[in-house]
Structure formats: C-alpha cells, structure tokens
Amino acid sequence: MRQGRKIEVVIPALNEEQAIARVIADIPDFVDQIIVADNGSSDDTANCASQAGAVVVHQPERGYGAACLLALEQTDERSIIVFLDGDYSDFPEEMPLLVDPITAGKAQMVIGSRAAGTSQRGALTPPQIFGNWLACRLIDLIWGLKFTDLGPFRAIEGKALSDLDMRDQNFGWTVEMQIKAARSNLPSLEAPVSYKQRIGVSKVSGTVKGSVLAGTKILGLIARYALFPPR
Ligand SMILES: Nc1nc2c(ncn2[C@@H]2O[C@H](COP(=O)(O)OP(=O)(O)O)[C@@H](O)[C@H]2O)c(=O)[nH]1
Ligand SMILES: [Mg+2]
C-alpha cells in the first residue's frame, strides 16, 4: 500500500534467470503483489522469480503484450499497476517517482522517461533512441500529447488501463497504451528515470531482427490508429 492505494507490479520476462531475482529484490516494500509473466523461458526464470517472492503466471503465447495481458488477469482494477522489465535495466527503487503523482491525483498514467533521465552509456541503442523519439513526435503531432520515451517502466490506474482495452500481443504494447491514452485524453505525466545496461541477452532492441520488428510494429500501430481510428 502507498498513500492508501494498492500497488501491483507486472514484469514480463523471457529467459531472465540471471536478473529477475535482483529486480524483485529492489522493488520497494510498499508493493502489494509482484506478478512475473513468463513466456515459456528455457532457463530457470520462473523458479527464480517465485523463490524471490513473485507470483508467476505462464503465458504459452509468445510476446511482451501477451505476457502483460495474462498478468493483468491477476490484478485488481482498483490498484495502481506498475510495469517493469525483468532484465535489471530499470531502477525499481525509483517507483515512487511514477506512483506518487497518481496517488496525489495529478495523473492517471506516468511514463518513466529514460530520455529525460540519466542512462548508462550503451544502455539505449541509437536505433532505440531515434525510434522512441520519432514515435513520440508522431504521437504529439497526431494526438497532441507530449511524451519523450516509450519507456517500459510506467504506472497507471488499473481502471484506466482496463478502459483502454489493450490488445497488442508483442512489441506494440507500450506505444498502444500511449496512443490510447492520448486519444482518450487520459491525464498523463512523465518522470525522468535512470536506466542501466541489462543483465543477460536482449530479446528486442539488442538484436537487428528485434529492432526492425519492434520499429515496424510501433510505426505501423501509429499509422493504423491515425488512418483507421477504431470507433
Ligand atoms: N514474457 C515475455 N517477455 C518478453 C518477451 N520478449 C521480451 N520480454 C521481456 O520484456 C522485457 C524487455 O525485453 P528486452 O529483451 O530487454 O528488450 P529491450 O529492453 O528492448 O532490449 C524483458 O524483461 C524481457 O525478458 C516475450 O516474448 N515474452
Ligand atoms: Mg531490456
């Protein structure tokens, strides 16, 4: 509980056995539940996560978004939901920066911006920096809401998140949430967060294939929502 609000953390994880226990250990004590959504990791991620005190859900459908959607079934709409990566690149101890504006009623969604914060050299790849900047510029141009990053570390009101009716099964999850927040004028803020080199191997931006797939998916979603806005 934080300022009388229940706080639940969702961590999508794929083969993060080296990092997941350290991520969970650094999560502040005020968090009520930690849910690790495992996508059939071939390493010991699930076991390491449950030994570290997390609830583990198993999502057979591969994909970051699919993992988040399954984890959300374990959460309470009255909670504040915090998303965090499982590779120890975020600083879980900075969670109050994201949660407190929501408990204070200043916002319903807070994005942790690595662009506005301090990143360790090499923690963000040049295509990632450019891609996030371009996506944020387009969201501002099309829907008039300013963001500086599509950062994974973020907090949102549980009810607001379910009202956004999230659908994306993989790399489009973060941008879908920000597009829908902009389209529905959800009171949103950013907070500068720190970012460091991950432990282990990247599944997305650290690979050419992952970067191209993620980049295409992100720009494709922006184009789709701009040209064929769902009623
Ligand atoms: N469950 C699940 N998690 C994933 C998948 N792909 C990536 N992740 C997790 O999502 C987070 C971000 O992925 P990562 O490889 O670090 O991408 P990067 O930060 O863009 O390099 C990490 O915690 C990964 O373990 C997936 O297909 N399923
Ligand atoms: Mg990462």
Total number of domains constituting the chain = 1
Mutate-to-test residue for ligand 1 from 64, 129, 130, highest number of ligand atoms within 8 A of CB: 64
Please choose, from the candidates 79, 20, 12, the residue with its C-alpha nearest in 3D space to the C-alpha of residue 47.
20
pLDDT of residue 208: 81
In a domain, 1, yes or no: no
In a domain, 14, yes or no: yes
pLDDT of residue 163: 97
In a domain, 2, yes or no: no
Beta-bridge mates of residue 156? 81, 109
In a domain, 35, yes or no: yes
Instruction: Say which residue the tokens 């597009």 belong to.
Output: 179
pLDDT of residue 203: 79
pLDDT of residue 209: 84
Closest ligand 1 atom to residue 203 Cα is 15
pLDDT of residue 147: 97
Please choose, from the candidates 95, 114, 69, the residue with its C-alpha nearest in 3D space to the C-alpha of residue 3.
95
Q: What is the largest CA-CA distance in the chain?
A: 47
In a domain, 38, yes or no: yes
Q: Whose CA is nearest to atom 27 of ligand 1?
A: 63
Q: Which domain holds residue 221?
A: 7-227
pLDDT of residue 1: 98
In a domain, 32, yes or no: yes
pLDDT of residue 121: 93
Please tell me the distance from the alpha carbon of residue 140 to that of residue 77, in angstroms, as a whole number.
28
Tokens for 148?
């500086």
How many whole angstroms from 104 Cα to the centroid of ligand 1?
31
Cα distances (Å, whole numbers) of residue 186 to 12, 142, 160: 24, 15, 8
How many whole angstroms from 67 Cα to the centroid of ligand 2?
15
Cα distances (Å, whole numbers) of residue 206 to 30, 128, 156, 211: 32, 9, 27, 7
Ligand (nearest to CA of 89): 2
pLDDT of residue 201: 86
How many whole angstroms from 203 Cα to the centroid of ligand 1?
6
pLDDT of residue 112: 98
Mutate-to-test residue for ligand 1 from 59, 62, 150, 203, highest number of ligand atoms within 8 A of CB: 203
Phi, psi of 85 (to 5 degrees): -80, 160
In a domain, 126, yes or no: yes
Q: Residue 217: CA atoms inside 13 Å, Cβ hemisphere, count?
A: 20
How many whole angstroms from 37 Cα to the centroid of ligand 1?
11
Do residues 9 and 26 make contact, with C-beta atoms less than 8 angstroms apart?
no
Closest ligand 1 atom to residue 19 Cα is 23
pLDDT of residue 205: 80
Please list every protein residue whose CB sits less than 6 Å from any atom of ligand 1.
Answer: 12-14, 16, 37, 39, 62-64, 67, 85-87, 198, 202-206
In a domain, 183, yes or no: yes
pLDDT, tens digit only, all 231 positions of the chain: 999 999 999 999 999 999 999 999 999 999 999 999 998 899 999 999 999 999 999 998 899 999 999 999 999 999 999 999 999 999 999 999 999 999 999 999 999 999 999 999 999 999 999 999 999 999 999 999 999 999 999 999 999 999 999 999 999 999 999 999 999 999 999 999 999 999 998 877 878 888 888 999 999 999 999 999 876
pLDDT of residue 40: 85
Do residues 219 and 132 make contact, with C-beta atoms less than 8 angstroms apart?
no
CATH of the domain at 122: 3.90.550.10
